[in-house]
């Protein structure tokens, strides 16, 4: 009987990856992660999928800023647009803007202008100034501007029939008023002076009651300096305007020479945010020969007044900060105005009495130039620090960007939509990248090289301005002209050909679902040689699910690159393992 040799039975096993964990740009990465990505997303997690098509809403000429309100607001060529309509707010300066929402108003810096989104006719400058021409008259008055009819000045008490007595017996004059209950003259704690100008409507249109202003050029010293306007108006049936300020005038006078200057100004600020019906800002630098490191806020509900100091809880507010270094960003976080330096976080506790307090935390702050990376997603604040991307909830920040590897990034700009944090930033070689962090799943994806100027989310869409093309883009594709088929790519980490116990990979099987007109190409690079070998290509004429087998040759290690156009969903990657011989 002829004895034939027995062939050994190959022992095989299968290792399946069916959870894809996104982008990880480190040397050693987990199963299901990719070292390089282009235009992939987590919408169909745990499958791997390409992002959707973007829409181009319009191409701007010279974009300056973007803001989310009830409708989309943006600046283009010095003009503000709101809800697709050109507004009357024109002539804005060139360059990027800080656009801040406060109620129905939209405030634009550094131009220091405002626009009322509920009334397109209400817009203009937050600041105001007036320089008088012609005669100026000064007269003692009550707070509402009503004059005292019988006033006397002297060192002895007059008859009680006078409305006011200016007592000049002491080193400083005092305003006295007769008190029937006291049976004598008592000093008034506050005395007002009415200043009348030869103008009609100019002051009333520029200033309002309780404005904090700076006055210079007045003939008597008590009228100059920082003042509150307790009344503003025009004389009935005349061509004159007036203001009422606190000041003691010994006698009514008329100024015929020189002029008075009245100014309501905003402080210079690096970064601004809105919180609790106020605008808050910070500044670090030299102004008027003084080195300043300060935080400011406007009067309650009044973004025009930053020097309104009347001893009330609604007053403006200014405070110096002791920490060194420039400010790098500002944001409203959970109802607290929060200001950042690269190594500090300063949070303001807003007091109902006006006694606001500044807290300091020494930790990773916002990287210089990355102030637009500040974004709150699901009650957590995310931002770009010098070393990583941080998630902050009021204590110490936690880094969430280990998957981005050791590459250093700069000038980050961020937006958010749903539970995703979008961040566009520049690497060390000046190349731009748009990354997306899926917060609920804790995974990153890289989309492309989009250089974003700013983001804004309105309704069901996340808008951004492409800084290179000046296109206004709708990233979710709900509006605008949709782009052509999305080109995508995924490069695996290093995959070892041989495993323990003499096992080696004999085949890779990809299980994918492809829409009509979708193309998939698969490449392998062996032993880091730098050359990609094409292993297969599929073009799907209709929607369907296919299995793509790939047989690698023997090597020490390899990488796989998937590349294509159109919509694809990768269900799984299976490795078929076989046991090799001892030789």
Residue 413: its pLDDT value, please? Answer: 98
Residue 3: its pLDDT value, please? Answer: 62
Backbone φ, ψ for residue 202 (5° rounding): -70, -40
Domain count, the chain: 3
Indicate if 138 and 244 belong to the same structural domain: yes
In a domain, 105, yes or no: no
Query: Following CA atoms 494, 495, 496, 501 in sequence, which dihedral angle do they give, to the nearest 10 degrees?
Result: 140
Is pLDDT above 50 for 400? yes
Is pLDDT above 50 for 459? yes
Render pLDDT for 463-505 as a digit per residue (tens, 0 to 9).
Answer: 999 999 999 999 999 999 999 989 999 999 988 766 665 567 7
Is pLDDT above 50 for 37? yes
Indicate if 219 and 350 belong to the same structural domain: no
Indicate if 281 and 347 belong to the same structural domain: yes
Instruction: Report how far residue 396's alpha carbon sits from residue 354's, in angstroms, rounded to the nearest whole number.
Output: 28
List beta partners, residue 577.
Answer: 13, 505
Is pLDDT above 70 for 237? no
Q: How far is CA 571 from the centre of its chain?
A: 38
In a domain, 93, yes or no: no
Q: How confident is the model at residue 583 (pLDDT cuts 50, 70, 90)?
A: very low
User: Under a CB-based contact definition with an 8 Å cutoff, are residues 523 and 533 in contact?
Assistant: yes
In a domain, 492, yes or no: yes
DSSP state of 542: S
For residue 206, the surrounding DSSP H or E stretch is helix 202-206
Is pLDDT above 50 for 149? yes
Q: Report, as an integer, the average pLDDT of 114-134.
A: 95
In a domain, 555, yes or no: yes
Instruction: Report how far residue 465's alpha carbon sits from residue 148's, in angstroms, rounded to the nearest whole number.
Output: 61
What average pLDDT does the chain have?
Answer: 91
For residue 518, the surrounding DSSP H or E stretch is strand 518-526
Is pLDDT above 80 for 224? yes
Residue 113: its pLDDT value, please? Answer: 98
CATH number (domain holding residue 560): 2.60.120.260
Indicate if 246 and 280 belong to the same structural domain: no
Instruction: Report how far residue 442's alpha carbon sits from residue 1's, in angstroms, rounded to the nearest whole number.
Output: 67
| High-pLDDT (> 90) share of the chain, % | 69
In a domain, 145, yes or no: yes
Residue 180: its pLDDT value, please? Answer: 84
Tokens of 439: 């917060």
Residue 5: its pLDDT value, please? Answer: 63
Indicate if 23 and 172 belong to the same structural domain: no
Q: Report, as an integer, the average pLDDT of 69-95.
A: 95
Is pLDDT above 60 for 534? yes
Residue 6: its pLDDT value, please? Answer: 57
In a domain, 79, yes or no: no
Indicate if 201 and 336 belong to the same structural domain: no
In a domain, 179, yes or no: yes
Please enumerate in sequence order all residues whose Cβ is within 8 A of that of 182, keeping only pairs 6 or more positions apart, or say none. none
Indicate if 534 and 405 belong to the same structural domain: no
Specify the 3-state DSSP secondary structure of 42: coil
In a domain, 518, yes or no: yes
Is pLDDT above 80 for 4? no
Residue 453: its pLDDT value, please? Answer: 97
Render pLDDT for 204-221 as a digit per residue (tens, 0 to 9).
Answer: 889 999 999 999 999 888
Is pLDDT above 70 for 581? no
Indicate if 175 and 28 belong to the same structural domain: no
Indicate if 35 and 166 belong to the same structural domain: no
Indicate if 250 and 275 belong to the same structural domain: no
List the domain range (segments joined by +) for residue 510.
12-53+487-579
Long-range contacts of 283-292 (CB under 8 A, 24+ apart): 283/327, 284/325, 284/326, 284/327, 285/326, 292/320
Q: Report, as an integer, the average pLDDT of 287-308.
A: 94
Render pLDDT for 5-28 as a digit per residue (tens, 0 to 9).
Answer: 655 555 567 788 899 999 999 999
β pairing state of 151-154 and 164-167:
parallel
Q: How confident is the model at residue 506 (pLDDT cuts 50, 70, 90)?
A: confident
β pairing state of 22-23 and 33-38:
parallel
Tokens of 192: 């007002």
Q: Which pTM was predicted?
A: 0.91
User: Which of 239, 264, 289 lies at the terminal end of a domain, its last residue?
Assistant: 264
Indicate if 242 and 145 belong to the same structural domain: yes
Indicate if 164 and 252 belong to the same structural domain: yes
User: Under a CB-based contact definition with an 8 Å cutoff, are residues 75 and 81 in contact?
Assistant: yes
Render pLDDT for 414-432 as a digit per residue (tens, 0 to 9).
Answer: 999 999 999 999 999 999 9
């Amino acid at each position: 009987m002829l004895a034939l040799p027995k062939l050994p039975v190959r022992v095989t096993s299968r290792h399946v990856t069916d959870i894809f964990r996104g982008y990880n740009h480190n040397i050693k990465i987990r199963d299901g992660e990719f070292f390089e990505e282009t235009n992939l997303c987590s919408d169909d997690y745990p499958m791997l999928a390409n992002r959707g098509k973007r829409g181009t809403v319009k191409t701007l000429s010279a974009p300056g800023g973007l803001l989310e309100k009830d409708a989309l607001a943006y600046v283009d060529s010095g003009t503000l647009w709101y809800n697709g309509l050109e507004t009357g707010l024109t002539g804005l300066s060139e360059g990027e803007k800080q656009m801040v929402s406060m109620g129905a108003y939209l405030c634009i810096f550094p131009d220091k202008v405002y626009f009322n989104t509920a009334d397109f006719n209400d817009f203009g400058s937050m600041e105001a100034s007036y320089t008088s021409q012609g005669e100026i008259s000064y007269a003692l008055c009550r707070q509402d501007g009503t004059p005292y009819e019988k006033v006397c000045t002297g060192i002895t008490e007059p008859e009680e029939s006078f409305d006011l007595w200016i007592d000049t017996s002491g080193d400083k004059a005092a305003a006295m008023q007769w008190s029937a209950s006291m049976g004598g003259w008592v000093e008034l704690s506050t005395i007002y002076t009415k200043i009348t100008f030869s103008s009609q409507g100019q002051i009333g249109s520029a200033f309002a009651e309780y404005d904090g202003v700076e006055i210079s050029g007045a003939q008597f010293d008590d009228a100059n300096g920082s003042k509150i306007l307790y009344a503003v108006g025009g004389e009935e049936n005349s061509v004159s305007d007036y203001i009422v300020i606190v000041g003691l005038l010994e006698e009514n006078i008329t100024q015929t020479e020189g002029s008075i200057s009245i100014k309501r100004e905003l402080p210079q600020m690096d970064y601004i945010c809105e919180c609790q019906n106020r605008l808050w800002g910070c500044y670090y630098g030299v102004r008027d020969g003084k080195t300043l490191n300060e935080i400011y806020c406007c009067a309650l509900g009044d973004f025009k007044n930053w020097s309104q100091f009347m001893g009330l809880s609604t007053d403006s507010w200014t405070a110096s900060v002791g920490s060194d270094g420039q400010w790098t960003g500002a944001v409203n976080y959970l109802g607290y105005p929060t200001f950042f330096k690269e190594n500090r976080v300063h949070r303001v506790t807003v007091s109902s009495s006006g006694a606001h307090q500044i807290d300091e935390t020494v930790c990773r702050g916002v990287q210089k130039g990355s102030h637009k990376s500040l974004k709150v997603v699901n009650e957590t604040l995310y931002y770009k620090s010098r070393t990583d991307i941080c998630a902050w909830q009021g204590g110490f920040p936690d880094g969430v960007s280990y998957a981005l590897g050791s590459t250093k990034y700069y000038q980050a700009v961020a937006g958010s939509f749903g539970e995703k944090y979008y961040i566009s930033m520049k690497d060390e070689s000046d190349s731009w990248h748009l990354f997306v962090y899926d917060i609920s799943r804790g995974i990153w994806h890289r989309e492309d090289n989009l250089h974003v100027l700013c983001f804004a989310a309105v309704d069901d869409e996340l808008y951004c301005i492409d800084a290179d093309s000046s296109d206004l883009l709708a990233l979710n594709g709900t509006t605008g002209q949709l782009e052509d088929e999305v080109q995508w790519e995924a490069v695996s980490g290093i995959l070892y050909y041989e495993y323990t116990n003499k096992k080696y990979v004999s085949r890779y099987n990809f299980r994918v679902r492809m829409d009509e007109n979708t193309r998939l190409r698969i490449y392998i690079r062996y032993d880091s040689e730098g050359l990609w070998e094409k292993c297969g290509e599929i073009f799907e004429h209709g929607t369907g699910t296919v299995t793509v087998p790939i047989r690698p040759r023997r090597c020490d290690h390899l990488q796989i690159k998937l590349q294509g156009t159109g919509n694809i969903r990768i269900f799984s990657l299976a490795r078929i393992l076989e046991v090799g011989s001892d030789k």
